Structure 1
Amino acid sequence: MFSLLNVFRFVAFLEGLSYILLLGIAVPIKYLANDPQYVKLLGMPHGILFIAYIALAFTLKPEQSWSKSTFYKILVASIIPFGTFYIDKQYLKQA
């Protein structure tokens, strides 16, 4: 079933994965091998997923009745590596 929460969980997973790939593979290759190709390849999809994650979080806040603290944790998780996976486990899976 395609609920908005399930879409958010899927986007959160992809955003987290793209962030890890960007920071863990593409950026080191850019600076160690002087090859910016992978950053260009992964940068745009990650940016789109990041914006989708934030937009969906704002859309779901009233529906899920998240407190300010929970909502801020969900937003901050998008800029911390592996943060979206933690949010999925702690807040989204049980909702």
Structure 2
Amino acid sequence: MGGALTRYRVIAWIVGVALAVLVLIGMPLKYVFDEPIVVAVVGTAHGWLYLLYLAATFDLGRRVDWPLKRMLLVMLAGTVPFVSFVAERKVTRELGATAPTRTPDPVGR
């Protein structure tokens, strides 16, 4: 589960940053200054990255046996600005608290 959680966390942050750039920088540039290049580039990148986010969320959800409703809510977090950060934090806290702690193997005498 550790690898799946790490993949989810990384892509959640990347998607969140891309969406924030799109909304906070790209949209004002497009609609106020008539410069659509940021929306074209970052919007396309966000779309492809969101697909990776969906795959990572599905992978993590299946590994930790989330119900379908929970998985869909976490997946939707990548479509609302800044919510992917909140969802990532909540998921990490929940799964970090339930993850078994590893104790080191005893060293030979």
TM range, smaller chain: 0.7 to 0.9
User: For residue 73 of structure 1, what is the aligned residue in structure 2?
Assistant: 73
How many angstroms apart in 2 are the aligned matches of 1:9 and 1:93? 11
User: Partner letter of residue 41 of structure 1?
Assistant: V
Moved more, 43-52 or 15-24: 43-52
Shift of 1:6: 0.3
How many angstroms apart in 1 are the aligned matches of 2:20 and 2:83? 10
Shift of 1:78: 1.3
User: Partner letter of residue 89 of structure 1?
Assistant: R
Instruction: Summarize the alignment of residues 45-84 of structure 1 with structure 2, pairs less than 5 Å apart.
Output: 45-84=45-84
User: For residue 9 of structure 1, what is the aligned residue in structure 2?
Assistant: 9
TM-score by length of 2: 0.77
TM-score by length of 1: 0.88
Query: Is there any run of 5+ residues in structure 2 with no aligned partner, and where?
Result: 96-109
Identical aligned residues as a percent: 26
- Note the alpha carbon deviations across 1:26-70, whole angstroms, 9 max, x for none: 011001000111112212221111110011112222201112332
How many angstroms apart in 2 are the aligned matches of 1:91 and 1:70? 11
Max Rg structure:
2
How many angstroms apart in 1 are the aligned matches of 2:55 and 2:68? 16
- Kindly indicate whether residue 39 of structure 2 is the aligned counterpart of residue 39 of structure 1: yes
Which consecutive segments of 4 or more residues in structure 1 shift more than 3 A? none
How many angstroms apart in 2 are the aligned matches of 1:70 and 1:80? 16
User: For residue 30 of structure 2, what is the aligned residue in structure 1?
Assistant: 30
- Note the alpha carbon deviations across 1:65-89, whole angstroms, 9 max, x for none: 1123321220121111111111111
Shift of 1:14: 0.5
User: Partner letter of residue 66 of structure 1?
Assistant: W
